[in-house]
């Protein structure tokens, strides 16, 4: 019995050895076919007389079998190479798609950043113009005030003269005046009336200038607020870009709880999350903070985001001298005057970092505001509040970095002093 050994050797290209598992190059493969082994034994071959063929014929059939085996091996190797090429192409297509999506997202983010920078530059130019106009209006107002003071002095002098004339008229009531004195009295009276009308006109102009100055100041304040929020938004975008770069180099995910997460299939966590879903009209909406029941709040959309209103007073129609339970659960109408409630405020602020904004407006539409970073304690601490000023036009509105416990007239903190703020100021 003859023995034939078939030996396959595969030699790798040097580039294949150096490249890693993630290299996308097509690796050339060199197949070497070893020569067929000689028969193990070279003994004599015995053929019977009635053999079908000669030894040469059998040797040819054996070589054909070897060729068939070799062709089958080459065919299987070709199929393997084809599958490898197809898989490599698929992986390269996936990588190209991901690169395309990343480039597109980066391009859109660059466009948004450039638009924000252009809006910020326009706002700064508008603010500069308004400040120049404000300075001019202040100078005009000072000039008008000087003129008014002069007119007031003239009016006082004229009133003294009129009083003297009244005394003279009283004396002349007994003694009939002459025609010349009567003419003098009439001319003086006409002059006084003319001066009085001039003074009234000047006072009216000054009032109009004061109203215009107030409007200019309100516009400047709103523009400053817009600039502050645009800068805050840029900082958030820059931090977002930094986190993306860190995510590319560090194979771990970092979760930072921020205000305004949105629950899939449920209500928004606060007004900010509601704004990011596309709702951009102020009004009453239903939210559901984490770990809390759903409730209604008033969302005010402005400055490119949304604010959850926790207190609103307009005309004093609602009495804010309420009990502890009322302040805990909330009271009033969300479309009018109201207090949201300590429980609801606490459930919102436990979701992340928030900003407290206080806005004041007087009867002449003069507006002031102030913003704080803050922390709010739970019911066990009587909802202790700590504040840290950020910006605003109200100086020293509330004590900063001090633990302020919430209290009402029926329930206030125990101190050595008998003074109670809720009892003294009715609320």
Q: What percent of the chain has pLDDT over 70?
A: 73
Determine the Cα–Cα distance for residues 181 and 218; give it in Å rounded to an integer.
56
Torsion angle in degrees (nearest 10) through CA of 210, 211, 214, 216: -100
Architecture of domain 271-413: Alpha-Beta Complex (3.90)
Over residues 355-365, the pLDDT tens digits come to: 999 999 988 88
First-residue to last-residue Cα distance in the chain: 113
Q: What is the pLDDT of residue 295?
A: 96
Highest mean pLDDT among 19-28, 149-158, 370-379: 370-379
- pLDDT (0 to 100) of residue 36: 43
- pLDDT value, residue 33: 46
The helix-helix angle for 55-174 and 179-249 (nearest 10°) equals 160
Name the most confidently modeled range: 116-125, 150-159, 191-200, 260-269. Answer: 116-125
258-268 per-residue burial string, b: 16 or more CB within 10 A, e: under 16? ebbbeeeeebb
Q: Say which residue the tokens 């493969």 belong to.
A: 29
Neighbours of 285 (CB within 10 A): 20
Q: How confident is the model at residue 350 (pLDDT cuts 50, 70, 90)?
A: very high
List pLDDT tens digits, range 119-147.
989 998 998 989 898 888 888 888 888 88
Sequence-distant (≥ 6) Cβ neighbours of residue 359 within 8 angstroms: 367, 368, 369
Q: What are the Cα distances from residue 267, in Å, to 247, 273, 274, 289, 335?
A: 30, 9, 8, 8, 20
For residue 408, how many other CB atoms are within 10 A of its CB? 19
287 exposure class (CB count in 10 Å sphere: 0-12, 13-18, 19+)? buried
Residue 12, helix vs strand vs coil: strand
The pLDDT assigned to 216 comes to: 77
User: How many Cβ atoms sit within 10 Å of the Cβ of residue 176?
Assistant: 8
The region of weakest confidence among 76-85, 265-274, 369-378 is: 265-274
**pLDDT value at 298 more than 60:** yes
Positive or negative, the CA dihedral 376, 381, 383, 386 is negative
Minimum mean pLDDT range among 191-195, 370-374, 393-397:
393-397
Length of the chain counted residue by residue: 427
Q: Where are the domains of the chain?
A: 271-413
Would you say residue 24 has pLDDT above 80?
Answer: no
Residue spans of alpha helices (H) in 250-291:
271-276
- The sign of the dihedral angle between the CA atoms of 416, 418, 419, 422 is positive
| Segment 202-236, tens digit of pLDDT | 888 888 887 778 777 777 877 777 776 676 666 55
Query: Which uninterrupted H or E stretch holds 343?
Result: helix 342-349
Distance separating alpha carbons of residues 408 and 391, to the nearest angstrom:
29
């Amino acid at each position: 019995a003859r023995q034939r050994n078939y030996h396959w050797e595969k030699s790798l290209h040097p580039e294949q050895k150096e490249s890693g598992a993630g290299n996308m190059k097509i690796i050339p493969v060199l197949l070497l076919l070893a020569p067929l082994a000689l028969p193990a034994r070279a003994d004599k071959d015995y053929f019977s007389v009635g053999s079908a063929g000669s030894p040469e014929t059998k040797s040819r059939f054996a070589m054909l079998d070897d060729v068939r085996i070799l062709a089958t091996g080459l065919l299987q190797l070709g199929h393997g190479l084809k599958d490898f090429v197809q898989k490599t192409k698929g992986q390269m297509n996936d990588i190209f798609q991901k690169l395309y999506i990343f480039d597109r997202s980066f391009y859109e983010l660059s466009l948004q950043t450039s638009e924000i920078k252009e809006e910020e530059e326009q706002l700064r130019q508008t603010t500069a113009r308004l400040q120049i106009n404000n300075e001019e209006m202040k100078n005009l107002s000072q000039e008008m005030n000087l003129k008014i003071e002069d007119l007031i002095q003239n009016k006082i002098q004229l009133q003294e003269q009129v009083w003297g004339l009244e005394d003279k008229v009283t004396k002349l009531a007994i003694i009939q005046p002459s025609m010349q004195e009567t003419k003098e009295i009439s001319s003086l009276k006409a002059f006084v009336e003319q001066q009085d009308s001039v003074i009234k006109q000047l006072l009216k102009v000054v009032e109009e200038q004061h109203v215009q100055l107030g409007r200019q100041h309100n516009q400047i304040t709103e523009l400053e607020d817009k600039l502050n929020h645009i800068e805050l938004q840029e900082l958030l975008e820059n931090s977002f870009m930094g986190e993306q770069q860190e995510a590319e180099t560090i194979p771990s995910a970092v979760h930072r709880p921020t205000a305004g997460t949105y629950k899939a299939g449920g209500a928004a966590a606060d007004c900010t999350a509601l704004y990011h879903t596309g709702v951009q009209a102020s009004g009453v909406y239903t939210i559901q903070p984490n770990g809390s029941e759903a409730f209604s709040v008033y969302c005010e959309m402005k400055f490119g985001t949304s604010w959850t209103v926790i207190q609103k007073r307009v005309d004093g129609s609602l009495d804010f001298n309420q009990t502890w339970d009322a302040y805990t659960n909330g009271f009033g109408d969300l479309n009018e005057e109201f207090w949201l409630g300590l429980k609801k405020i606490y459930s919102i602020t436990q979701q992340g970092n928030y900003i407290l904004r206080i806005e004041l407006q007087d009867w002449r539409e003069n507006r002031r505001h102030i913003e704080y970073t803050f922390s709010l304690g739970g019911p066990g601490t009587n909802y202790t509040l700590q504040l840290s000023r950020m910006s605003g036009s109200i100086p020293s509105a509330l004590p900063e970095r001090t633990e302020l416990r919430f209290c009402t007239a029926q329930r206030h903190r125990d101190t050595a002093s008998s003074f109670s703020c809720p009892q003294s100021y009715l609320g």
